[in-house]
Amino acid sequence: ASGGAGGCASRPRGPSKDSVLLQLTAPAARRAAAGRLALPPAVTGLLAERDHRVRGRRARSVSQGLLLHAKSLAMAHLARAAEANESVSPGEDAQAELIQGLLDTIDEGLTTGMSQDFAEDQAEVNDQLQRIVQCEREMADANATSSAHGIAAAAAGEFAACQSTAADLSSAKDSTCGEAHTLLAGMASHPACSLANDTSPGALAAFIECLEERATALPGARQAHGECFNATTAHEGQVEMCQTKEHGYHEALCALRAFVAATCQLYQSCHTREADNYAGVIERVRRVEAGRQTEAVALVRSRCYLAIIQARATTLAGAEGQALLSTCEHLTMANLTTDMSNFTITYPPAPSASACQLLPPGDGAVSVDCEALAEARLRLPYTGLSPLPANASLQTSPRLQLSRQIVIGAVDSIMRLSGSSVLVCTIEDSRQLIMSNECFMVSEAGGELSESAPVSGALGSWIAAERLGHNKALKFGRDGRCEVVVAEGGTLTYRPAVNLLPSSTKAQFMAPMEEDRMVVCYDRSLKWNEHHEVRCGFVTDVNGTLSYSHDTLIVADIPHTWPEPHIDRLSDSRAMLCYGNAMRDQESAFCQLLAVSTTGIAKLGGPVDLSADIAFGLSRGEVTVLSAEKVLVCDIKACVVVSGAGSVLVRGDALTLPATQASAGRQFATVAALWNDQAVLCWVEVNHGSEYGTPYCAVAVVQGMTVTLDKEFPLAGDTQVRSYKASATSFGPGRVLACYEDRLTFWPEHERGEHADGCMLIHYAGAGS
């Protein structure tokens, strides 16, 4: 403190060159001096590591230790001054000078460290604040670099230009056809040529003149009609083109809206995350800041007490000494005059989340059902697909190990619910201790697969299921009984089961035609293994009520069991039915083209024998429609391409599947569309005397009317499983989900472990729809 001002000196005098501190240069000497002078442990530790930077709790411990020791020395010095005793106790001067030098050392290191700590903490606060701002920049950058806006704007421009042209053509049509109508109306109002009963030459000549006059007007009338016809045809063609342009615009607008929704969601998530992180940074830095300010005050108060120790007793006599002591005791950050009082962090308020308005003005008002458009893109057969890019590579991941065992029944027990979820239904099996039918969802999000909780239904065996509508499936069981499964969020619910088909129904297969409407074909058993027939009709779901109508006999007098009539949609007006012989030595597979309309179902041409020169493996084959021109029918022994584009089915070249690694071969093939010229074929390879094996898949490629098969790969990867069947379903363009069993009852008792049932997403990376 300066002489009589009562303040604390901003920079007390430093130690002299011959001070004790400068003489203690060796660590051993510093430790010995500290021991002799009874310094507090914190100060002793600092002397041992004097050249190291002291920060954080240890620095505050040193500062507080010095403060307490300096205060006790100052109070002792004041007490002696009050007794007018200027003598000092042994070592007191040396101790005071040691503290002075130590304070100088700490002042240089500690102040520098505090400044660095302050700068780092302020930078961390500022950096985290910028992370919040960066969320908005990233949103803006994503919006600026996306092609979705440009594509939508171009499509909107093309549609508007098309509409403008259509309006001009409509006006031209109305004008041209109006003029033609006026001309013809005038001719109609002209007195008609009439011969009546007058046989005179004059009457006959007048009649001829009338006909000649009318005849001269016919070319003009025909020309007016032709111009009206051409104007009408041009307008109708333009309207049809505008419908295509409008569909393209709606597709682009839905893609833009999907991009905007995803971008806004990312921004909101980013802002929330970084704002929470900012709050956490502020909370932590405030604690550090408070400790740093306490540290600064302790250091300055120590210097203030040291000034008392260095003052002479005569200066401290009376009330002045106590005033100086009080000044030291009441120093705070508020009245410090050193640079350390500026160590106050600035905490700018976090910016609020911006309104994510990325859609151009007017686009949000356009009425378009994007969900319906998205569903149309996912319907089979896929339309509007470009050839796969050269860099598209087949990926066999992610793979999901299921938490439950599954028993796969009919191939159709797995089907797409939406663009991100698939319904898997299993059948009861007493050997597997799975006694009730269960359905659950497998969903894909962010490159990962997940499963929902299973829900048991009323139907337990002979399950066949197919998509009925958005997040809704129809599931048939034994004897024509069925139930509807509805997915709401991540939960499945069932509607009550109903009897929809005859009780003599043995197997049924379905093909979705449109939302809430499907065509169903079933095997009606009139006499077991002697008299069966295939019938087809429509199932509709209106206001939660199922109905079956337009029942039509397609194939009669089938002399064997299990024809398994598989029906697939080719277009809105066509379907293909395939059936076979699964119980006789003579293997056969037939397919029939069907016309499908709101008024009923009819056969187009006759059935085509797909097994005329190839051997199908005791079934009618699994069918997937790649396009109306490319339908792939595969079994465990062969694949063949069929075209349904004409008035009758046309059979292409057959591919006999190569021999397998297993000695007995394949069983239970399943096939699912991957692209408009590719499909995934899966099967189980078994050994002699065994009914289980390893599930494999391969990609079948269709070119023209021929098919080739790529190299197979194990569906379960490196995991060893024992499967009876596998199942697969198209999951959207370039995506197939395949599931496989691991039936523990097929494992030897000593080899049984945890089941490894699972599903895998087979897809093309780099392919887009």
Residue type, 681: L
User: What mean pLDDT is predicted for residues 170-175?
Assistant: 95
| Predicted confidence (pLDDT) at residue 632 exceeds the cutoff of 90 | yes
pLDDT tens-digit readout, 238-254: 999 999 899 889 989 98
pLDDT tens-digit readout, 316-338: 777 778 888 888 888 877 766 55
Instruction: Among 186-190, 489-493, 708-712, name the one with the lowest average pLDDT.
Output: 186-190
SS3 sequence, 354-417? CCCCCCCCCHHHCCCCHHHHHHHHHCCCCCCCCCCCCCCEEEEEEEEECCCCCCCCCHHHEEEC
Cross-sheet strand order for the sheet of 630-634: 622-627, 630-634, 638-643, 650-656
What percent of the chain lies above the pLDDT cut of 70?
Answer: 79
User: What mean pLDDT is predicted for residues 453-479?
Assistant: 86
Q: For residue 147, give the DSSP letter.
A: S
C-alpha–C-alpha distance, residues 371 and 367, integer Å: 12
Model confidence at 711, pLDDT cuts 50, 70, 90, reads: very high
Q: Per the omega criterion (within 30 degrees of 0), is the bond before 381 cis?
A: yes
pLDDT tens-digit readout, 2-35: 333 334 433 333 333 233 333 333 344 444 444 4
- Residue by residue, DSSP assigns 170-227 as HHHHHHHHHHHHHHHHHHHHSPPP--TT--SHHHHHHHHHHHHHHHHHHHHHHHHHHH
What's residue 500's pLDDT?
Answer: 94
User: What mean pLDDT is predicted for residues 762-769?
Assistant: 70
pLDDT tens-digit readout, 540-563: 999 999 999 999 999 988 877 667
Residue type, 356: C
The encoded tokens of residue 48 equal 């041992």
> For residue 42, which of 299, 249, 263, 424 has the smallest C-alpha distance?
299
363: left (phi over 0), alpha (psi -120 to 50) or beta: alpha
What's residue 662's pLDDT?
Answer: 56
Domain chopping of the chain, boundaries: 20-143+279-342, 149-270, 391-469+657-769
Q: What is the pTM of this model?
A: 0.64
What's residue 387's pLDDT?
Answer: 87
Cα 572 to Cα 112, 251, 381, 512: the distances in Å are 79, 20, 11, 10
370-378 helix and 201-310 helix, angle to the nearest 10 degrees: 100
> For residue 156, which of 254, 38, 58, 11 has the smallest C-alpha distance?
254
**Class of residue 760 by CB neighbours under 10 A (exposed 0-12, middle 13-18, buried 19+):** buried
The answer to whether 447 and 501 have CB atoms below 8 angstroms apart is: no
| Residue that has been written with the tokens 């409509």 in this structure | 170
| Predicted confidence (pLDDT) at residue 681 exceeds the cutoff of 50 | yes
pLDDT tens-digit readout, 497-525: 999 999 888 888 889 988 899 999 998 88
| Predicted confidence (pLDDT) at residue 595 exceeds the cutoff of 90 | yes
The encoded tokens of residue 102 equal 């130590």
